[in-house]
Chains A and B, each alone.
Chain A
Amino acid sequence: KAGVTQTPRYLIKTRGQQVTLSCSPISGHRSVSWYQQTPGQGLQFLFEYFSETQRNKGNFPGRFSGRQFSNSRSEMNVSTLELGDSALYLCASSLDRGQPQHFGDGTRLSIL
């Protein structure tokens, strides 16, 4: 079974731009969550999606948004990028809510 796939692996953007990150969960997994990892703040929860509905949202500004499609694939979008958005963005999927989560390799976003 293929693991969680995140694309792209690396991204370089400039301030003010927007970006879309993609996550393909393990086949059959219906729950997808996103996390931001930085050296200063560690791993912080962004969103949780299940059945195309956002079930939980972390303490991030409205510039951060996401969605989940009917095939459980998920995207997250960050608009008006700031230098502080430079981070590793991790996606995790699980068979159902409350079940063990499997993480992807992440997308490393660098803002110049």
Chain B
Amino acid sequence: AQRVTQPEKLLSVFKGAPVELKCNYSYSGSPELFWYVQYSRQRLQLLLRHISRESIKGFTADLNKGETSFHLKKPFAQEEDSAMYYCALSGFNTDKLIFGTGTRLQVFP
């Protein structure tokens, strides 16, 4: 079955602390993995995709095929990182996204 699991509904940290948002997936084949973010009163937007292998706003995510994970990390959280984060996957040459249930990140000053 195709599934994305985000085990934490809420993650609260203080500014400057490291952040790791967990994402595990189940997919037969080679999926493409994404992180989407939704800031308060804004639309859902793409943060990272694994094939780009880039760092956006200080966030990175590494695809671990052995552990079927795609955890999102940032060494020093900022207050403006507070948002809802969704992990998602898709198959080859399709726009169909399977989303996790999301993790709300709260960064306190």
Give A residues with C-beta under 8 Å from B: 3, 31, 33, 35, 42-45, 48, 50, 55-56, 58, 90, 92, 94, 97-106
Contact = CB atoms under 8 A, between A and B. Distances in A.
Given A3-B43, A43-B86, A90-B44, A101 B99 contact: no
Contact of A45 (B32, B92, B97, B100): B97
Nearest to B86: A43
The A contact surface, by secondary structure, is: strand
Given A104-B43, A105-B43, A48 B101 contact: no
Contacts of B49: 100
A40 B101 CA distance: 9
25 contacts: A33-B95, A33-B96, A35-B97, A42-B99, A42-B101, A43-B99, A45-B97, A48-B94, A48-B95, A50-B95, A58-B96, A92-B95, A92-B97, A94-B95, A97-B93, A98-B92, A98-B93, A100-B46, A100-B49, A101-B46, A101-B95, A102-B45, A103-B43, A105-B43, A106-B43
B102 A42 contact: yes
Contact-size category for B:
20 to 34
Interface in B8-28: none
A55 B43 contact: no
Given A42-B100, A48-B96, A104-B43, 7 more contacts: A3-B43, A35-B97, A45-B97, A55-B94, A101-B97, A102-B45, A106-B43
Nearest to B41: A105
A103 B108 CA distance: 28
